[in-house]
Amino acid sequence: MELRSIRAGTIVLAAIAMSALGGNSAARASSYGRTVAALPFTTRAPARSSGLRIMIHYRDEHDPNAKPKTFHELDIELPAGTKIDQRLVAACTASDAELMAQGPAACPQSQVGDGTVTLMTGFPPPADLVLADVTILQGEGELLDVFRSAASSQTLAVDHVKIVGHTLIDKPQAIPGGPPDGRSAPRDVRLRINARTARDGRAYLTTPPTCPTTRHWLAHFTVFYDDGVTDHAVSTAPCSPRKRPIRRCRDDRDRSSRGHCAKHDNDGDD
C-alpha cells in the first residue's frame, strides 16, 4: 500500500489545530481530552443554504506527540434544526469493491465535498505521518468518504457515514499501520461539504431556522475509542439573528398605542 509520508519536525499539531479550529467556530476541551473539534457553517444566517466545515484534531491525552488512540465510532450531532435534503444529489450506488477499484470516479455526479486527513501510523520517522485525500459522496441515506493516498490514485478505504436526522454516524474502516495495534490513527481531519441550491430554491444543507439568544449554534461530537473511553466534545458556530423588517408610518393614524406602525390588511384604504 503506497502512502506519502509527511514530516513536520517536532510535532506541534495540537497547538496548530487549536488556533486553526477557532477561525469561525469555537472548540471547547472535550470531556476526556482526546478530541478537539469545530464545525462552522459558511453562513451565519438562519434558514439559509450553506456549506459546512468539519475539523477535528485527535490527540493522546497524556502525550500530545504520541499516536492517538483508534476508535470504532464517531457521532456528529449537527446543530438542532439543521436539514440535509439528500434528494437534491444523485445517490452513489456503487459497491465498496467498485469504489476501491475506481475511487470517486465511480460516482462523479454524487460528490458533495472533499478534504484531507492526516494519519499517524505508529512507524518511526519518516513514515510516521501520512496524508490522505478524501472525497465525500452522497449515498443512499449516508455519506461515502473515499480515502485515497495523496501520492497516488490508490483508494485506501471507504467509510459509510449514516445520516440519521441531523446526526452523522461514522464507523470507520481500519487503515493498516504500525505499532502498537497495526492500524493508522487519524490525527487531523479537514473536511468540507459545499453549499448547493437547486433551481427551485431547495438547498442540500440548510442552517437551523433560528439563531439562539447566545448567537451561536452548538454541535456535539462523541467518539467511542477502542480502549473503552467515550469522549465528548462541543463546538460553537456563530449565527446572526434575523433583522426585523421596519415598517414606516404613513401618518399618525398608523401608529399603535406603543408607538409602532400598525399592519394593515388593505394598504389602499385610508
| Closest by Cα among 110, 106, 107, 108 to 90 | 110
pLDDT for 257 equals 46
pLDDT of 270 higher than 50: no
- 115-50-143 Cα angle (round to 5): 45
pLDDT for 153 equals 77
What is the rounded average pLDDT for all residues in the chain?
86
Give 176's DSSP letter.
B
Buried b (16+ CB within 10 A) or exposed e, 51-88: bbbbbbbbbbeeeeeebbbbbeebbbbbbeebebeeeb
pLDDT of 14 higher than 50: no
User: Distance between CA 192 and CA 136 in Å, rounded?
Assistant: 9
Which cell numbers hold the place of 52? 459546512
Span 27-62, pLDDT tens digits: 666 888 999 999 999 999 999 999 999 999 999 999
* Strand boundaries in 91-243, DSSP class E: 111-120, 129-138, 142-149, 155-164, 167-170, 185-193, 205-206, 216-225, 230-238
Query: How would residue 268 be classed by pLDDT, with cut points 50, 70 and 90?
Result: very low
pLDDT for 246 equals 55
Pairing between β-strand 52-58 and β-strand 185-193 as defined by DSSP bridges: antiparallel
User: Distance between CA 191 and CA 247 in Å, rounded?
Assistant: 43
pTM above threshold 0.85 = no
User: Distance between CA 43 and CA 21 in Å, rounded?
Assistant: 16
User: Distance between CA 263 and CA 242 in Å, rounded?
Assistant: 19
Q: Average pLDDT of 148-157?
A: 89
pLDDT for 243 equals 73
With H, G, I as helix, E, B as strand and everything else as coil, classify residue 99. Answer: helix
User: Distance between CA 166 and CA 85 in Å, rounded?
Assistant: 11
User: Distance between CA 127 and CA 136 in Å, rounded?
Assistant: 26
Q: Which residue has 459522496 as its cell numbers?
A: 137
pLDDT for 198 equals 95
pLDDT of 15 higher than 50: no
pLDDT for 148 equals 96
